[in-house]
Amino acid sequence: MSDIILYGSPFSNFVRSARLAFEEKGVGYTLEPANVKEPEYRLLHPFAHMPALRHGEFRLGESIAIMRYLDEAFDGPPLQPADVQERARMMQWISAFSDYVVAIIGRRVLGEYYAPLVFNRPANQATIDAALPEARQQLSILDGFLAKHPFIAGDTLSLADLMYVPHVFYLTETPETADLLAPVPHLRRWHKDMSARPSVQATVPPMHELHAA
């Protein structure tokens, strides 16, 4: 058993991003449930969110912090560009993801479509409809960059790709959200290429469990 423990749910997009980094680096880990309501969990993540990491006596929360730690602390293929400008571009896309994409696509579109399964409440269609124009714009911007580059930050795989993969995966899982990908062929190409990677295949959420719940 690995001495590295990642706490979180396999359905969480942010947990999956961290798991993708583990898989890409070839670093062993154990995935355990995150008991975020337990006071002790705040020793792992001060804001009681997922994911959190324990590596011996070291504790760390937040997916991007965990991913950068894995990349910098362990041997394996680099997940951050060596060139300072390419690395800055990677951080630009990660920042855009955290500040814009999560708010619109993550919460207002996916969060509402999956509300009946995840939160046991009806989806708020008005929230979805109001978010769709901006969601389409965000996907179009991403598609424009991917028209010129194979990966989100440029010509090599980076942490930026690993941040976006889980959200795009959930977009493909329902007909309504999959339609958002129809006008963005370069994003679809990227998703197809990423889906073929062993790391992505190894971390696919067990959707049958979600639908059976």
Instruction: Share the mean pLDDT of the chain.
Output: 95
| pLDDT of 2 strictly over 80 | no
More confident residue, 96 or 174: 96
Go through the chain and tell me how many residues it has.
213
| pTM listed for this prediction | 0.95
Instruction: Give residue-wise pLDDT tens across range 182-195.
Output: 999 999 999 999 99
Which CA distances in Å does 125 have to 119, 133, 154, 180, 183? 15, 14, 36, 16, 22
Exposure string (b/e) for 12-45, b if CB count within 10 Å is 16 or more?
Answer: bbbbbbbbbbbbbbebebebeebebeeeebeebb
The pLDDT score that the predictor gives to residue 209 is: 79
In the chain, what is the straight-line distance between the N-terminal and C-terminal CA atoms, in Å?
29
| pLDDT of 61 strictly over 70 | yes
| Residue 96: strand, helix, or coil | helix
Q: Give the Cα separation of 19 and 144 in Å (integer).
A: 27
The pLDDT score that the predictor gives to residue 1 is: 47
Beta-carbon contacts of residue 135 (< 8 Å; ≥ 6 apart): 104, 105, 108, 109, 180
Most confident of 111-120, 146-155, 174-183: 146-155
| Rounded average pLDDT over 39-55 | 96
Instruction: Give residue-wise pLDDT tens across range 9-35.
Output: 999 999 999 999 999 999 999 999 999
Give residue 212's pLDDT band: very low, low, confident or very high (50, 70, 90): low
Q: Which CATH superfamily is domain 4-73 in?
A: Glutaredoxin (3.40.30.10)
| The listed CATH number (1.20.1440.230, 1.20.1050.10, 3.40.50.1260, 2.60.40.1930) that belongs to domain 84-202 | 1.20.1050.10
Residues of the chain with CATH 1.20.1050.10: 84-202
The pLDDT score that the predictor gives to residue 48 is: 97
Residues of the chain with CATH 3.40.30.10: 4-73
